[in-house]
């Protein structure tokens, strides 16, 4: 029993130790704690951003196909935001200037999608969607990944979301 108590005490001391600031004191306030430099921060890699782009790309298809234009606009906006994040966090990937490639490669298709969504035009949406998928694959080829080929999705990525519009 004594041993268990001692071990617990030791554990407590050790865990408190790790909370100490450099000067050996506990940070008094949240502001003080925040002011301490973080030793390591987590930044997602390009592959993680891309997995997320892939999901939104698939959802975009089902939203547009179902004529759920507000959802389609939302999904397109999410893709744009992730492209912005890539610009900021992983501008260069294995020597390839991905940030500089995004706009020239995808800009026309993204604009076409935006316009087709604004005009509720399914035929134009399909064309621009295929153009976007083609540009995704073109960039993959340009960055040494001609094995990542993007196409129209056959099934929704998740089945717990309805694409049919409310109105």
Residues in the site for ligand HEC, rule: CB under 6 A?
45-47, 50-51, 53-54, 57, 79, 93, 98, 101-102, 105-106, 132, 136, 139-140, 143, 145, 148, 150
| Residue 24 DSSP code | S
Cβ proximity to ligand HEC: between 12 and 51 the closer is 51
Smallest gap from Cβ 65 to ligand HEC, in A, equals 16
How many CB atoms lie under 10 A from the CB of residue 105?
20
Cβ proximity to ligand HEC: between 69 and 76 the closer is 76
Cβ proximity to ligand HEC: between 27 and 127 the closer is 127
Torsion angle of C-alpha atoms 46, 51, 55, 58, degrees rounded to 10: 90
Torsion angle of C-alpha atoms 132, 138, 139, 145, degrees rounded to 10: 130
Cβ proximity to ligand HEC: between 9 and 92 the closer is 92
CA 142, CA 149: separation in Å to the nearest integer? Answer: 12
Smallest gap from Cβ 74 to ligand HEC, in A, equals 15
Please give the helix or strand (H or E) that residue 52 lies within, else none. Answer: helix 46-65
Smallest gap from Cβ 151 to ligand HEC, in A, equals 9
Smallest gap from Cβ 164 to ligand HEC, in A, equals 23
Give CA angle at 125 (84, 82), nearest 5°. Answer: 15
Cβ proximity to ligand HEC: between 71 and 150 the closer is 150
Smallest gap from Cβ 159 to ligand HEC, in A, equals 20
CA 161, CA 167: separation in Å to the nearest integer? Answer: 16
């Amino acid at each position: 029993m004594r041993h268990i108590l001692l071990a617990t005490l030791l554990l407590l001391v050790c865990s408190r130790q790790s909370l100490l600031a450099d000067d050996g004191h506990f940070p008094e306030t949240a502001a003080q704690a925040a002011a301490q430099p973080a030793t390591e921060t987590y930044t997602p890699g390009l592959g993680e951003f891309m997995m997320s782009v892939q999901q939104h790309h698939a959802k975009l298809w089902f939203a547009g196909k179902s004529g759920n234009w507000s959802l389609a606009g939302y999904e397109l906006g999410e893709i744009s935001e992730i492209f912005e994040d890539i610009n900021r966090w992983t501008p260069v990937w294995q020597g390839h200037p991905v940030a500089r490639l995004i706009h020239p490669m995808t800009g026309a298709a993204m604009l076409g999608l935006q316009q087709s969504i604004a005009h509720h035009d399914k035929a134009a949406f399909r064309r621009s969607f295929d153009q976007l998928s083609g540009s995704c694959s073109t960039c993959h080829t340009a960055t040494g990944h001609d094995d990542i080929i993007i196409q129209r999705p056959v099934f929704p990525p998740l089945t717990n979301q309805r694409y049919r519009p409310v109105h």
